[in-house]
């Protein structure tokens, strides 16, 4: 069984591609990558998108990439794309980085039939108490480092929930 996760922020160049890549890193560390499913048959697939069209086709922000490389030793991959209505059908769980992204996603679900799939990323944190993943775009390197730390915590919690069928 494939379980598909979509991480969403504003421009899809900082927070959401970081979450996607961190989750893929954790999946690989858990031995669940490259077409391998866990003993229960779960195979997790990840993607990311932005609610805006500001950066379509752009790679992850270089400052975010530097933070990911320093903190986890991973390279952020992917190209920015905009969230589409078809994502509601294509993904099992849609994870918004902040309240504004959450509301923008829900606005696209006119029938409200997919509201149950949309959650805030920080709901899965166990060590951090922030309710939203802050946008580091206009700040300094410390903000990018904070986002990586927060996303590691949230992704670890999310992976635990997915693997235990608690979603």
In the set 47, 98, 135, 153, the catalytic residue is 135
User: What is the spatial distance between Cα 38 and Cα 49, in angstroms, rounded to a whole number?
Assistant: 26
Q: Out of 9, 14, 122, 125, which one is annotated catalytic? A: 9
The answer to whether 15 is a known catalytic residue is yes
Judge whether 46 and 5 are in contact, CB under 8 Å: yes
Active site residues: 9, 15, 135
């Amino acid at each position: 069984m494939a379980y598909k996760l979509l991480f969403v922020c504003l421009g899809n160049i900082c927070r959401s591609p970081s979450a996607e890549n961190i989750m893929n890193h954790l999946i690989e560390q858990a031995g669940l990558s490259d077409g391998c499913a866990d003993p229960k048959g779960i195979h997790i697939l990840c993607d990311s998108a932005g609610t805006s069209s500001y950066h379509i086709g752009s790679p992850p922000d270089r400052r975010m990439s530097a933070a990911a490389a320093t903190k986890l030793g991973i390279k952020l991959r992917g190209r920015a794309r905009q969230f589409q209505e078809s994502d509601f059908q294509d993904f099992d769980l849609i994870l918004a980085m902040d309240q504004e992204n959450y509301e923008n996603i829900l606005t696209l679900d006119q029938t409200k039939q997919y509201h149950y799939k949309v959650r805030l990323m920080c709901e899965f944190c166990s060590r951090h108490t922030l309710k939203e993943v802050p946008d580091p775009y206009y700040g300094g390197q410390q903000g990018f480092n904070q986002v990586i730390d927060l996303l590691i915590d949230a992704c670890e919690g999310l992976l635990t929930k997915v693997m235990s069928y608690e979603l």
